[in-house]
A = this chain, B = another copy of it.
Amino acid sequence: MTTFYGEHSKVWVSVDCIIFGFDEGKLRILIGKRQMDPGRGEWSLYGGFVRSDESLDDAANRVLYDLTGLRNLYMRQVGAFGSVDRDPGERVISIAYYALINVNDYEDRLRKEHGVEWVNIDDIPQLYSDHNEMVRKALKLMRQKIKSEPIGFRLLPSLFTLTQLQRLYEAIHGEELDKRNFRKRIKEMDFIEKTELIDKKGSKRGASLYRFNKRIYNEDPNFKL
């Protein structure tokens, strides 16, 4: 094996995941108490080291699968974090990723096995190392992204009511929306399809269930919320 860059030093590279979920009207992320040194016992994002035979995206997908048992999650890179002393043990740079999951798809057994919890984004405690900074940036990027792409559906069941959808957007942006204006905009988006099904859980009267039609969206991707 030829060594081109021998004179330079190598470092460890990890990925850390900000996993967003929407439950009980709140946007939440998964965090757990760190089970290894250094920093044992501190609240932390879930992460792992990048292996020599996998890309950064592969590493993030592996870590996400390991924690949630889910594949093909919507996932985007947040950025690289590389202060010299960010890890108290060694020089480690970390690439943060955020992912969106529908909380119903996540088996609670698996969640408990890994000792992670859903925490409201307004109540995030102090986290290990620079993880709070990662969360802030992930939230900022996700909020921005959701304005121009219909990624919110990744946080909902495949069938959802318009009130659920509105509550999701309110939770993400942290402000209330006008019901009539919201529904007016939804009606303009043909890829948000009304089904014949009625949800009876959320109200006595019942609310129509909608679904996101990816095919129609791809044909005419005009999204604005």
State the A residues within 8 Å of B (CB).
Answer: 2-5, 8-13, 36-38, 49-57, 77, 79-84, 89-93, 95
Determine if A4 and B89 form an interchain contact, defined as CB atoms under 8 angstroms apart.
Answer: yes
Across-interface contacts of A57 in B (CB, < 8 A): 82
Across-interface contacts of A2 in B (CB, < 8 A): 89
Q: Nearest chain-B residue to A144 (Cβ)? A: B144
Determine if A89 and B56 form an interchain contact, defined as CB atoms under 8 angstroms apart.
Answer: no
Query: Known contacts A79-B79, A79-B80; is A9 also within 8 Å of B55 by CB?
Result: no
Least Cβ–Cβ distance between A54 and chain B, in angstroms: 7
Across-interface contacts of A37 in B (CB, < 8 A): 4
Across-interface contacts of A95 in B (CB, < 8 A): 80, 82
Determine if B50 and A90 form an interchain contact, defined as CB atoms under 8 angstroms apart.
Answer: no
Query: Known contacts A10-B12, A11-B13, A93-B13; is A4 also within 8 Å of B38 by CB?
Result: yes
Q: Which of A5, A11, A80, A84 has the most CB of B within 10 A?
A: A80
Q: Nearest 3 CB-CB pairs, A to B?
A: A56-B82, A10-B10, A4-B89
Query: Chain A's interface: helix, strand, loop or mixed, by majority?
Result: loop
Q: Nearest chain-B residue to A56 (Cβ)? A: B82
Q: Nearest chain-B residue to A52 (Cβ)? A: B9
| A28 CA to B40 CA, complexed, in Å | 48
Determine if B90 and A5 form an interchain contact, defined as CB atoms under 8 angstroms apart.
Answer: yes
Least Cβ–Cβ distance between A181 and chain B, in angstroms: 22
Least Cβ–Cβ distance between A113 and chain B, in angstroms: 22
Least Cβ–Cβ distance between A12 and chain B, in angstroms: 5
Least Cβ–Cβ distance between A98 and chain B, in angstroms: 13
- Other-chain contact of A5, B3, B49, B51, B54 (Cβ < 8 Å): B49
Query: Known contacts A52-B91, A80-B79; is A10 also within 8 Å of B11 by CB?
Result: yes
Across-interface contacts of A3 in B (CB, < 8 A): 90
- Other-chain contact of A77, B9, B50, B80 (Cβ < 8 Å): B80
- Other-chain contact of A90, B4, B11, B80 (Cβ < 8 Å): B4
Least Cβ–Cβ distance between A157 and chain B, in angstroms: 31
- Other-chain contact of A8, B49, B56, B77 (Cβ < 8 Å): B49
